[in-house]
Copies of this chain bind each other. A is one copy, B any other.
Amino acid sequence: MYYDKDAARGAEATFLWFAEEVGELAAALRNGTDEELQAEFADVLAWLVTLANIKNVDLNQALSRKYGSGCPGCGHLICQCPDSEKP
């Protein structure tokens, strides 16, 4: 939807937009309506996907590699790591 503009902008400038949306998500978590919260989650995800596209990272593949076989710590699909590992 935005690829041409995104590619021209570059990863550094795109990260700033992404970070701005992360800040807006924080604000919505603090005191947003359900609708605002949904919209901010959508924006953060959209900018994350944008950034991944620019860097030629396939998010599905990245997620599958890291978490596709279960928790990277303990290997279980329902994590059984001690709480000290991921409180």
Residues of A within 8 A of B (CB): 1-2, 4-5, 9, 11-13, 15, 19, 22, 26, 29, 37-39, 41-46, 48, 51-52, 55, 57, 59, 61-63, 65-67, 70-71, 77-79, 83, 86-87
Contact = CB atoms under 8 A, between A and B. Distances in A.
Contacts of A13: 87
B48 A66 contact: no
Secondary structure type dominating chain A contacts: helix
* Assembly stoichiometry (copies): 2
A57 B38 contact: yes
Contacts of A87: 5, 9, 13
Contacts of A5: 79, 83, 86-87
